[in-house]
Amino acid sequence: MRKPVVLVTGASGEVGYGLIDKFTENPDLEVVALDLKSTDPKLRDRCHAWIKGDILDENLLQWLVSEYEIHAIYHLAALLSTRAEFTPDTAHKVNVEGTLNLIKLAHEQSRWHGNPVRFLFPSSIAVYGLPDLKTKAAAGRVREQDWNLPTTMYGCNKCYCEQLGRYYTSFYQQLSAEPLSSGVDFRAVRFPGLISAITMPSGGTSDYAAEMIHAAAQGEPYACFVPEEARIPFMVMPDAIKALIQIAEAPADNLRQRVYNVTSFSMTAGEMRDRVVAAFPGAEMTFKPDVKRTGIVNTWPEEVDDTCAREDWGWSPEYGADRAFAEYLIPTISQRYE
Ligand code: AKB
């Protein structure tokens, strides 16, 4: 008998760490974690299985099909925006072909156990592409259907995978005599910049926020790679985990769409610096903008409109900016470097 489990890919990444930490609080939930990299043993030992492997390894994915009865897939594996710009072909393979492999695994699993497989996909504000700062400022809170003109490989990957998920969920094999449901129940959230107090980001272009706070907590100087006035939306990790679990549990009939904006607070890098210096007086925070990375951040919206998520599945963040800093980021990060 195959064991009913939840599969998490990219498990040793920032979101993976937070999600598995949350999941393994529930003794009834069996988590199978997959990543190229290992993670801290404490977290690994709380999983039913930790598989060191590659989402591009189709033999491994076939083995997973034979070994486990997978009812939900949290597909977190991805190369983020800055990293993907340096290795666009690899990014396409991992972000697109990897995702298609997992969608096909969900389809196959559903055929085996006869139930839809919930496929949770972290998309990103990187799917947006505002042409210039004037338009960005005028656009304000961007809705899901606006400005889907990504300017990075990562953004293109996320945008395409959103469409792949919509296709498999609603249009798969639409020309066949008896169109059968693919059994893939794809649900995506477009995350803003995520900030974790527990893990450090890698390879993203919104990473300056977390880097700034973690550097200040360690008493290290930090030169921010975007200018003070650069503004994008953010969310702290506990809210990102909440959003993924909440959309996963939402009744399918409540979902008017398959891709949702979610956000918590929007902030300039300068405002971020002010809060960090207030918490860590004497912290040496400077700005040394990287023109190209700033160029990417400038194409991302100042804010996003998450009305649909609020209406369809009751989304609302626990942490606004004040609570995020006062009750989560500053105390937890300070403790981490004590
Ligand atoms: C990145 O910076 O690439 C990510 C994102 C905004 O999706 N953090």
Predicted confidence (pLDDT) per residue in 179-214, tens digit: 778 999 999 999 999 999 999 998 999 999 999 999
Q: Is the pLDDT of residue 64 over 80?
A: yes
Under a CB-based contact definition with an 8 Å cutoff, are residues 65 and 108 in contact? yes
Residues with CB under 6 A from ligand 1: 80-81, 124-126, 154, 191, 193-194, 204-206
Query: What average pLDDT does the chain have?
Result: 96
- Specify the range with the lowest mean pLDDT, choosing from 31-45, 72-86, 294-308: 31-45
SS3 state at 5: strand
Long-range contacts of 179-185 (CB under 8 A, 24+ apart): 181/116, 182/107, 182/110, 183/106, 183/107, 183/109, 183/110, 183/111, 183/115, 183/116, 183/117, 184/103, 184/106, 184/107, 184/110, 184/116, 184/117, 184/119, 185/116, 185/117, 185/118, 185/119, 185/252
| pLDDT confidence of residue 152 | 98
Question: Which residue is listed with tokens 């009751």?
Answer: 314
Flag whether the pTM goes above 0.85.
yes
Query: How does DSSP classify residue 324?
Result: I
Q: Is the pLDDT of residue 151 over 90?
A: yes
Q: Rounded to the nearest whole angstrom, what is the distance from the C-alpha of residue 205 to the centroid of ligand 1?
A: 6
Pocket test residue of 15, 76, 79, 81 for ligand 1, highest count of atoms within 8 A of CB:
81
Q: Give backbone dihedrals phi and psi of 312, rounded to 5 degrees, phi first.
A: -80, -35
Amino acid at 260: Y
Across 64-75, average pLDDT: 95
Q: Rounded to the nearest whole angstrom, what is the distance from the C-alpha of residue 309 to the centroid of ligand 1?
A: 20
Q: Rounded to the nearest whole angstrom, what is the distance from the C-alpha of residue 266 to the centroid of ligand 1?
A: 14
Across 217-221, average pLDDT: 97
| pLDDT confidence of residue 223 | 98
Say how far apart CA 316 and CA 204 lie, in whole Å: 25
Please tell me the residue having the least CA distance from ligand 1 atom 1.
204
CB atoms inside a 10 Å sphere around CB 249: 10
Query: How does DSSP classify residue 155?
Result: H
Q: Rounded to the nearest whole angstrom, what is the distance from the C-alpha of residue 81 to the centroid of ligand 1?
A: 6
Q: Is the pLDDT of residue 43 over 90?
A: no
Structure tokens at 281: 């007086």
Question: Which residue is listed with tokens 């008998």?
Answer: 1
pLDDT tens figures, 250-268: 999 999 999 999 999 999 9
Confidence label for 1 from pLDDT (cuts 50, 70 and 90): low
| pLDDT confidence of residue 267 | 98
Q: Is the pLDDT of residue 3 over 80?
A: no
Torsional sign, CA 199, 203, 205, 211 = positive
Of 86, 296, 89, 82, whose CA–CA distance to 204 is shortest? 82
Please tell me the residue having the least CA distance from ligand 1 atom 4.
204
Say how far apart CA 251 and CA 282 lie, in whole Å: 50
Say how far apart CA 214 and CA 57 lie, in whole Å: 35
| pLDDT confidence of residue 82 | 98
Q: Is the pLDDT of residue 178 over 90?
A: no
Q: What percent of the chain has pLDDT over 90?
A: 91
Q: What percent of the chain has pLDDT over 70?
A: 100
